[in-house]
Structure 1
């Protein structure tokens, strides 16, 4: 996509990102609120990557978090009307470039079991499920 621009989100983008996720991302998390995303951007200003079209419209996101040891991918989302145009691929490439720059060696992605469409996209990008691992979660707040 020639007119696609990928850039880190800034504080002024947060409301539009949250609104975008309501349209483009399946499922929600307890941290999908302004405070949660604001903490992410304050802690790691380059973690939340945005894809914008030539008109500046938000068409995709990915969170590329690195904790110094592992590379974690969250919230890969592409606007439903813009899917299958290479936006997700471009976002993943930008995230992986970030990880390599930071010294990361392996990326993992949080993908809902029921989201079959996402499974196909992640496989096409070279990711595979690891059946020997299961995800255990504990909410830290009510």
Structure 2
């Protein structure tokens, strides 16, 4: 397994992976999400490959105050092989290199399997409420 930065040729495979992992939502156009990420810190958009197959992704960002991870995904056929753990270790290392003091991520409260995964990696639930407001509405 190899972790490397996203390449434009990966787009279709990444979106297919996100669909297979249930990460896409009607209000988030995955093509636009990728386009937006490539405009800011594109070197922090990671993919994991096994031979020629794309098997994982992680979209990482640092705003100077906190690091964030989005779209951490591992192909259902490649789970329990430490690919997610390796992607998170790479994300953490890249953030540490930038002087990032803390990493945050969002997990849907109903996704107990993923919450358990992050707890095994040492992540804890912060006592906060996540609020959001859409500024640009994507239309499919």
Q: What's the C-alpha RMSD, in Å, of the aligned pairs?
A: 1.5
Q: Does 2:130 align with 1:138?
A: no
Summarize the Cα distance change of 1:90–1:13 in structure 2 as closer, same or farther, 3 Å threshold: same
| Shift, 1:69, TM fit | 1.5
Separation (CA, whole Å) in 2 of partners of 1:7 and 1:45:
11
2:37 to 40, 54, 65: 40
Deviation digits for residues 25-75 of structure 1 (CA, Å, limit 9, x no counterpart):
44527344212211211321112110101x221111111111122100111
2:15 to 3, 18, 28: 18
List alignment gaps of at least 5 residues for structure 1.
Answer: none
SS at match of 2:73: strand
Moved over 3 A (4+): 29-32
SS at match of 1:73: strand
Separation (CA, whole Å) in 2 of partners of 1:56 and 1:43:
26
* Larger relative contact order, structure 1 or 2 (CA cutoff 8 Å, min sep 6): 2
Separation (CA, whole Å) in 2 of partners of 1:24 and 1:141:
25
Count of paired positions:
137
TM-score calculated relative to the size of structure 1: 0.89
List alignment gaps of at least 5 residues for structure 2.
Answer: none
SS at match of 2:81: coil
TM-score calculated relative to the size of structure 2: 0.90
